[in-house]
Amino acid sequence: MGTPRCSLAANISAGTEANLSLALPITPAFSPLYRQIKELILNSLRSSEWKPGEVIPSEIELAARFRVSQGTVRKAIDELAAENLLLRRQGKGTFVATHAEQQVQFRFLKLVPDNGPPGGEGPAQRHIIECRRTRASADVARALALRTAEVVLQIRRVLSFAGTPTILEHIWLPAAPFKGLTAERLSSYKGPMYALFETEFNLRMVRAKEEIRAESAIDGRELLLKVKHGTPLLSVERVAYTYQDEPMELRRGYYRTDTHHYLNTLG
């Protein structure tokens, strides 16, 4: 750029630095401009300056705001779009990703019917069994980064496809951010649970990890899923994270795999 430009942050690589300290390379400590811009955009997302589903300012506007070129903003947005935090739509603008979209559903629910495409059976029927306040056990607390015995919401529900109960889920949520959530609200809401979290509690789940094991249907799970005692089930333990990488949900799912399977693609 022809005109001098004020740097956005103290860029570490500015001086040569005597470097008498043992030069521990904890991290390269060099952050290109576009990553700093990315961080600024992320901050706007975290602070809900733009909400899920909304447009963010155009690349040209953002370039002007941050005093960088459009290309630099572009590269920042590229990364955020690759991480599914933003969604670009040519001719329309760039939008904050939301769970209230069809395509997004199957990024988090990987169970698909053995025959036919994902979601070919239409949306699942949801049945909330319970939603109550309780205290976190040691493992629940650890997963949610809480202290043991802190108050959490515990939800149990069953998802059915074509009338067949297929998924049994136990969900734990920290009570504070989800203050006011009830079984009634969960039952009456049409749409994915994560979409409800966005609109009602301003909490967006952006990332998750799942640990999958094989277990027998026991302890009453066989009754809710209507399978024989001891039937092998897929146990899927998910921890979901928000923009700030805080664990916000623990979900233990038990999947029947006689008519469905968990589909994963490796690249």
Partner DNA sequence: CAGTGGTCTAGACCACTGG
Partner DNA sequence: CAGTGGTCTAGACCACTGC
The tokens 């040691």 sit on which residue? 138
Q: Is residue 51 within 8 Å of 58, Cβ to Cβ? A: no
Structure tokens at 148: 């043991």
| Residue 34 in the binding site for DNA (CB under 7 A) | yes
Q: Which of DNA, a second copy, none is residue 218 near (CB under 5 to 8 Å by kind)?
A: none
Residue whose C-alpha is closest to residue 256's, from 219, 212, 211, 226:
226
CB of 244 to a second copy, least distance (A): 16
| Residue 201 in the binding site for a second copy (CB under 8 A) | no
Q: Is residue 53 within 8 Å of 45, Cβ to Cβ? A: no
3-state class (DSSP) for residue 185: helix
| Residue 262 in the binding site for a second copy (CB under 8 A) | yes
| Residue 91 in the binding site for DNA (CB under 7 A) | yes
Q: Which of a second copy, DNA, none is residue 122 near (CB under 5 to 8 Å by kind)?
A: none
The tokens 């990703």 sit on which residue? 97
Q: Is residue 225 within 8 Å of 165, Cβ to Cβ? A: yes
CB of 43 to DNA, least distance (A): 17
CB of 15 to DNA, least distance (A): 10
| Residue 94 in the binding site for DNA (CB under 7 A) | yes
| Residue 220 in the binding site for a second copy (CB under 8 A) | no
| Residue 234 in the binding site for a second copy (CB under 8 A) | yes
Binding to a second copy in span 96-135, by CB under 8 A: 107-108, 110
DSSP conformation class of 161: E
| Residue 179 in the binding site for DNA (CB under 7 A) | no
Phi-psi region of 23 (alpha: psi -120 to 50; beta: other; left: phi over 0): left
Residue whose C-alpha is closest to residue 126's, from 165, 88, 86, 99:
165
Binding to DNA in span 54-73, by CB under 7 A: 56, 58-61, 68-72
Cα(16)–Cα(261) distance, rounded to whole angstroms?
56
- The number of beta carbons lying within 10 Å of the beta carbon of residue 99 is 22
Binding to a second copy in span 235-254, by CB under 8 A: 238
| Residue 115 in the binding site for DNA (CB under 7 A) | no
Interacting span for a second copy (CB under 8 A) from 13-21, 128-136, 153-161, 209-217: 209-217
Residue whose C-alpha is closest to residue 204's, from 39, 78, 42:
42
How many CA atoms, within 13 angstroms, populate the side-chain half-sphere of residue 44?
Answer: 22
Interacting span for a second copy (CB under 8 A) from 39-47, 78-86, 118-126, 169-177: 78-86
| Residue 13 in the binding site for DNA (CB under 7 A) | yes
Structure tokens at 136: 């976190």
| Residue 261 in the binding site for a second copy (CB under 8 A) | yes
CB of 83 to a second copy, least distance (A): 6
Chain residues in the site for a second copy (CB under 8 A): 82-84, 107-108, 110, 206-216, 230, 232-234, 238, 255, 257, 261-267
